[in-house]
């Protein structure tokens, strides 16, 4: 699981979003970047989390933040999720888990007594110079913007 912590250099990543556009860490130099990893598009917790970020998007923009959602869903599923809820930020379709593994959020999970490997809901806040400013592993899906912005 993630060993990244505040003060570490963020992993250099490259991934394609729902439209096939490539996003890299370098694209966000000079901006604060929120990279939020979620288990699966269109599930209740993931929807609540992404909608809370959407509803506070103007506050993020006003504070020089860009947002990037990441899951192992394919581009079509990410596109449907984005369109259905009108998210103003891209969603990476990380099917090969290269970004997920670079950030160390793939690992064993338990749900209803069963153990399996999956994405741990984790958010990384990266500063303008590519340094991790915060790692949020106890994500409050309905109040996630407040956790990030501290309001």
What's the distance, Cα to Cα, between the start and end of the chain in Å? Answer: 28
What are the φ and ψ backbone dihedral angles of 37, each rounded to 5 degrees?
-100, 130
Question: How buried is residue 1: exposed, middle or buried, by Cβ count under 10 Å (0-12/13-18/19+)?
Answer: exposed
Q: What is the CA radius of gyration of the chain?
A: 14
Q: Which member of 4, 25, 33, 46 is catalytic? A: 46
Q: Is 46 annotated in the active site?
A: yes
Which sequence positions are flagged as catalytic? 46
């Amino acid at each position: 699981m993630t060993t990244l912590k505040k003060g570490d250099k963020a992993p250099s990543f490259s991934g394609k979003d729902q439209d096939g556009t490539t996003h890299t860490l370098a694209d966000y130099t000079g901006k604060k970047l929120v990279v939020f990893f979620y288990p699966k598009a269109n599930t209740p917790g993931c929807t609540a989390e992404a909608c809370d970020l959407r509803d506070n998007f103007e506050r993020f923009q006003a504070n020089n933040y860009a947002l990037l959602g990441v899951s192992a869903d394919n581009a079509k599923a990410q596109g449907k999720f984005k369109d259905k809820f009108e998210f103003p930020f891209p969603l990476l379709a990380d099917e090969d888990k290269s970004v997920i593994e670079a950030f160390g959020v793939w690992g064993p999970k338990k749900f209803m007594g069963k153990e399996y490997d999956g994405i741990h809901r984790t958010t990384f806040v990266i500063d303008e110079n590519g340094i991790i400013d915060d790692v949020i592993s106890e994500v409050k899906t309905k109040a996630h913007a407040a956790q990030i912005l501290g309001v």
